[in-house]
Amino acid sequence: MSETKQAEVGDWVGADFFDPSFRDDPYPKLAHLRENDPINLTPVGTWRISRYEDVKAIFNDAPTSMTDKHDDSPNFDPLDTKGSFLEFVLNKDGDAHRRLRMLVQKSFGQKTVRLMEEEVAKTVAAAFDKALADGGMDVVPALAHEVPSRMICQIMGVPMQDRQIFNEWTAARTNAFFAKFLPPDVQERTRNAGAAMEDYFRALITERKKDLGDDLLSSMIMASEGGDKFTDDELIIQAIGVIVAGYETTIGLLGNGTRAFVEHPDQLAKLHDNPELVSNATDECLRFDTPILFNWRVLKRSYELGGVTLPAEAVIWQLLAAANRDPARFADPDHFDIEREDLAHQSFGGGPHFCLGNQLAKMEARYVFNEMAQRTKGLTINASNIEWSHSFFRVMASYPLEFN
């Protein structure tokens, strides 16, 4: 480890993720960090990686694990045991990860996307029918919550009438991924959400065992590999994790993407005139303002990166948002451009833990962004103040728009 790096321990370099104001506009601070200390040892002992190629190397080449040598997550609150993500597929490696991922993946493939498209289209069209009649909408409850909550609950087998109770639970539960570093009141709210979700899914699994359906929860109940059935505890944690991951991240994509179009009306007009750009536009939304600012890995062995030797057991935070705006990888990266070419963003992560739900999330976003472009042609869109949710992710709680 270099002497320079030792001297910089304790310095957030102007980009303190745990400052409440950081989320308002993180990109100038992330750019400053990337330019001045791209491999940054933080005051809490983690390493932040902000250049695109370095983030890619951690995902694809470095000898990493999701947990430390004691099989614990380096970011989790040790008191957060009920509904804990420690046994979630995202937090597993090797055979344990493959076993869980293969099962869950069946419910998030191209077949599911095709089956869900008609319902997504109807849901999005109905939301814009109402918004245009009302002269506006709050994007978050009307679209960003409404669309993914319907899809993820249908996939999981959660009764539609229970969708709304997950709004607070999922937002609070995202904080579990980095709760070790959060204030005590946030840790308590996070633990309470985990306990409530565990109780909910334990009861639902008991009922579902009596009446299996065509959903992910039923599939996991029925699944066995060599006689190795999932325990109820495993089922509960996968259910909680899938709901949180599939719900909150898509809320962020739909909300942040809509905001990007509102703040760049020339790009919205371009999408109206060229609807075939919607897939590319969706990836540009993911690059421009990703819902997940950073991810984590733990090094199993020392690893050389950018001239710095990172030690074994180093906790790495890969800054997806910084990588996505790295000028060494993307020309004019702070410009929102739906015709941008070569959009290999890092928003879905990489390696064996590449996001399972990426196809479903992008499909939902395509319908939302295209409907917005087609239905608001000729209207002036005015935005009111943003409210951020309790989520650890970059997710809004409210984003009111007026159509004139």
Q: What is the pLDDT of residues 220-263, one digit of tens each?
A: 888 765 566 778 888 899 999 989 988 899 999 999 999 999 99
What count of residues does the chain have? Answer: 404
Residue 396 has pLDDT above 50, yes or no: yes
Q: What's the whole-number mean pLDDT along residues 309-338?
A: 98
8 A C-beta contact, residue 14 and residue 30: no
Alpha-carbon distances, residue 134 vs 376, 400, 404 (angstroms)? 13, 12, 11
% of the chain beyond a pLDDT of 90? 79
Interval 92-131: pLDDT, tens: 999 989 888 887 877 777 777 888 899 999 999 999 999 9
Question: Where do runs of H (alpha helix) occur along 83-183?
Answer: 94-105, 110-134, 139, 146-156, 166-173
Tens-digit pLDDT profile for residues 324-358: 999 999 999 999 999 999 899 999 999 999 998 89
Share of the chain above pLDDT 70, in %: 96
Question: Amino acid identity, residue 211?
Answer: D
User: Helices H, strands E: what count in the chain?
Assistant: 15, 14
**CA–CA gap between residue 44 and residue 132 (Å, rounded):** 48
Task: Report yes or no: 282 and 365 within 8 Å, Cβ to Cβ.
Answer: yes
C-beta of residue 364 within 8 angstroms of C-beta of residue 372: no
Q: Is the pLDDT of residue 185 over 70?
A: yes
Contacts of 363 (CB under 8 A, 6+ apart): 113, 116, 117, 120
Instruction: Pick one of 1.25.40.10, 3.30.230.10, 1.10.630.10, 3.50.50.60 as the CATH number of 3-403.
Output: 1.10.630.10
Under 8 Å between Cβ of 27 and 334: yes
pTM above 0.85, yes or no: yes
Is the CB of residue 187 less than 8 Å from the CB of residue 77? yes
3-class SS of residue 281: helix
Contacts of residue 108, Cβ cutoff 8 Å, sequence gap at least 6: 155, 246, 356, 357, 359, 360
Q: Where are the domains of the chain?
A: 3-403
49-76 residue pLDDT tens:
999 999 999 999 999 999 999 999 999 9
- Higher-pLDDT residue of 400 and 224 is 400
